[in-house]
Chains A and B, each alone.
Chain A
Amino acid sequence: MKRLIVILSLFAAPLWAVQPDEVLDDPALESRARELSKELRCLVCRNESIDESNADLARDLRLLLRERLVAGDSDTQAIDYIVDRYGEYVLLKPTTSGANWLLWLAGPLMLLTAAGMGWAFVRNRSTATTSAEEALSTDEQERLRRILGE
C-alpha cells in the first residue's frame, strides 16, 4: 500500500485515460485505435489496459499506437510494432504461440472431458434399471400394498 501511494503521488496531477488532444481527426482510425488500445496493457499499472489507464506510459503508448495507425500500419502491424519494443507482456490477450496453446485449449479440452464423463454418467443412470431403490423388500412391498389399498 505504501508503494502504491508512492507510485500514485508521482503523478501529482493525475492524467486521464484518453485525452482530448490524443484523439485522431479521422473517426474510423480513432475507433480502430480505441479497440486496439483495449488489448494492450499499461506496463506500470495493475491489470489495466492503456485505454483505461491514467499513467504517463500508457499515454505514450496510446500516442505511439496512433502514430503507427496514421502511418498506415494495419492492426496486426501496429500491435507487432509495440510487442517488438515492449515484449509480449503488453498483450492482454495472449497469443497462441508456444506453450500458450495450453491456455487457449484448456477450456475446450476440459469441456470435452467433462462432457464425456457427464454423458457416460447419464447413460449409466438411464440404463441401470434394477437399482436398490426399485427392488423393494417384502416388508416394504407389504407396506406399499397397504398404503395403495387404502
Chain B
Amino acid sequence: MTDQSQTRRPPLIRLLLVLVPLAAMLGAFVWIASLDPLRGFNNGAPPVEALTVERAILDGSGISLKVRAGGSDAMVVAQVAVDDAYWSFTQEPAGPIARGDAVWLRIPYPWVLGEAHHVNLLSNSGATFGHEIEVAVSTPSATWGQLRLQAVIGAIVGLLPVALGLMFYPAMKGVGRRGMNFLLALTVGLLAFLLIDTISEALELSTEAAAIFQGSAMVWLAALASFLLLMAIGRWRGNPEGIALAFYIALGIGLHNFGEGLAIGGAFAAGSAGLGTFLVLGFALHNVTEGIGIAAPMLRARPALWTFAALTLLAGGPAILGMWAGSLAYAPQWSALALAVGAGAILQVMVEVSAYLVRQNADRQATLMSPAVLGGFLGGVAFMYATAALIKI
C-alpha cells in the first residue's frame, strides 16, 4: 500500500523537476564565476605552482622529461638547470602548460653513464622543481632485441614459477580433508601477503604522481571497484568453485604479476635495477607458491591438461606485458592504477577461497581456527614474507 500511495507524475513534469534544479545549479555557477567572491581573499600571493616529472628518458640526444603541471594557473618553465648548470632545452608543445597538461622537455645534456644527475626546473616566478636521476643509463627503447630480452625475464619471474607450482598438483591430489584445508589456507595466506604488498606499492607509486590524480583515493577506489566487479562477475552463477575458482585466482595473481612486471620494467627504465640473476631467482621462488595456490581449489575436480596451460598463461603471462609496459610507457599514476586493480582482484579471490574452504567443512567455525587452517594461513604469509626478502632492494 505504501508503495502505491505515490501517484505517478506525467513524464514531462518529471523531466521539469530534474531540469529546474539543474538550471538553478548552472545559474549559480555562472553567477559565482562572474561575481568572483574569492576576490576579497586576493592578498597578492603568487599562484600555487606544481610540476611533476612523470618520466625521464636518457639517450644519445640527452635527457627528456615528461612534466605535468598542476598549479592554480598555467605554468611556464623558464629555465632548466642540470647539475647546477643552466642548459638549453626545448619544450613540446611550447608555451604555458595548462593545469593537468603534460609536455616533454628535451635537454641536450651529456649525461654520464652510471652517475647521478639532478635536474632543476625554474618557473617564471623563480619556484624550483627538482628531479633526481639516481643512476643514469640509456632508457630501453622498443627494439625487437629489447622486447625479447624482457619477455625472457618476464617468463622467468611469471610463467615458470606458476608452471612449477602447478606441477605439484598430482602430489596434492591425494590429500585428505585436513591437507586440503591446509592448502586452501596457505593460498589465502599468500594472497594476504600479496594484497598488502600490492596496496603498499600502489600507494607508494601514487605519491610520485601529480596531485591532480589524487593518488591515494584513486588506489583505494580502484581496488574497491575491481573487487566489487569481480565479486559480481564471479557470483553470476552461484559461488565459484573448483576450476572456475582456480581461474579467478589465476586472474588475481596475473594482475599482481602485471604490477610486479611494471615495477621491474620501471626499474629497468630508471636504471636502478642491476637486475641480477639472484634477484630474478628470488622472484621465481617467491612466485612458486602462486602455482600451488591456483591448484588448491581444483583438487576435487578433474581439469583437462589445457587448463593448466591456460592457468599458467593467465597468472604468469601478465608479468611479460608488465615488463614491456613498465619500461616503455612508465607513468606512476597508471602503474599505481594497475596495481590497485590487481589488489581488488586479490581480495576477491581471498574471499572466494575462504568461502570455499568454509563450505567444504561442516563445522564451519571450528575449522577456521583449526591447526591446519591457521598453520596454512600463517605458513603462506611467512613463506611469502621470507622469500620477498630476496627481492626487495
Report if A and B associate in a common complex: no
**B interface list, Cβ under 8 A from A:** none
Using a CB–CB cutoff of 8 Å, the interface residues on chain A facing chain B are none
